[in-house]
Amino acid sequence: MMTRNTPGFVIVLAMAVVAGAASLYSQQEKGGDLATGPYDVVPGWPDNPCSEGYTFGSTGGIFAESPDRVLIFQRGCLPELPADDDSVGELTSLVPSRNASGYSWSAEDPSRHPRREAIVYIVNREGAVIGNWDQHNDLFVRPHKVKISPYDPERHIWIVEDGGHQVHKFTNDGELVMSIGEFEVPGNDDSHFDRPTDIAWLPDGTFFISDGYDGVRVAKFDPEGNFIKDWGQAPADPDNPGPNEWDTVHSIAISADRRVFVVDRGHHRMQVFDEEGEFLDMFVLGMRSSPYYHMITEDQALWVSDGGTDRILKYDLNGYYQYGWGGPGTGWGQFEGPHQMSVDQDGNLYVAEVFNGRVQKFVPRPGADPAKMVGQEVRYQGASSR
């Protein structure tokens, strides 16, 4: 029997390591570029929804109800730069830029500021605009997220509006049926928000709202929108924040076992609670991390779109890193502020960017490893795939 002291042991061990590595590498593609992970990006998708002379604004929300009905929630339309402008192609050169926070609807020079147009618009798989909700434009000050509950057979559309301090519920075709919060009046009680950011549901329709930028809490409501409770506070010691202490409560999702995962963006971490708000766990996502959005897919993987690294990251529900791809930039397949993501029934991934001011569509590469693709969103099982 060969032991560590047997002559030639190191050589045999090295040969085994090399053979193992060769076997591993033989399962990988040679060369290539993992900048877009297991996906190919679709350049130029979708069509510009704005009037002539205007183009996409900072885009906070995206939800793929189906491959042919993708809802997009942006912060108005920005003027296009003239063709002879030296800064054409530099996305941050617009006045204001596509920055998430710098918008003013009553600007002194409206020709250089966003207009209330195509704030909510809908595209098909080719990216053609098939509808918009311009009738509701006055509701929106600073659009943030758009979602559909996975447990709702009527597929109501929920919009989180942080600038107006409200959360709105619409029918699937755009009729407003409920608003929670008072327009442009901040607060942190049972009927006011302080810049809310996201929403998530339990199977019975109970929902939770992360609140938010200026708020430091999670608020729980019954299916009819009646306030139940809330939890959270600012850090007692900002240099050493503890559980249930927040700096930008930015995203919320619920696992199959009813754990509530909440992004604590300013502290670079995820906090986990039971449905009554009892603290269970937390984990840091990296000191360069600024998690903008997370979703828990049908296979119970935790996917994060991270604004600090401009990457798409996969974790298990215990907080262990699994995989990631992406990087910063303005080119197709790169990110600047990946603010919300969604996956359709065909496995296409959509990412809304607040700083690049656009949506990108990623199509799975043939033969791509399913474990590296963002999994299917949890959806109402009776929903049509229209």
* 77/358 Cα distance (integer angstroms): 11
Q: How far is CA 334 from CA 28, 102, 141, 269, 277, in A?
A: 23, 23, 27, 23, 36
Asked if residue 219 lies in contact with residue 252, where contact means CB atoms within 8 angstroms, the answer is: no
How large is the average pLDDT for residues 96-106? 57
What pLDDT shows up at residue 243?
96
Domains defined along the chain, listed by start: 33-372 (2.120.10.30)
Structure tokens at 234: 């600012």
* 363 has pLDDT over 70: yes
pLDDT category at 28 given cuts 50, 70, 90 is very low
Would the pTM count as exceeding 0.85? Answer: yes
Average pLDDT of the chain?
Answer: 87
Which are the contacts of 268, defined by CB distance < 8 A and separation ≥ 6? 284, 285, 286, 287, 288, 289, 290, 291, 308
How large is the average pLDDT for residues 333-338? 95
What pLDDT shows up at residue 115?
81
What pLDDT shows up at residue 109?
56
What pLDDT shows up at residue 103?
59
What pLDDT shows up at residue 20?
41
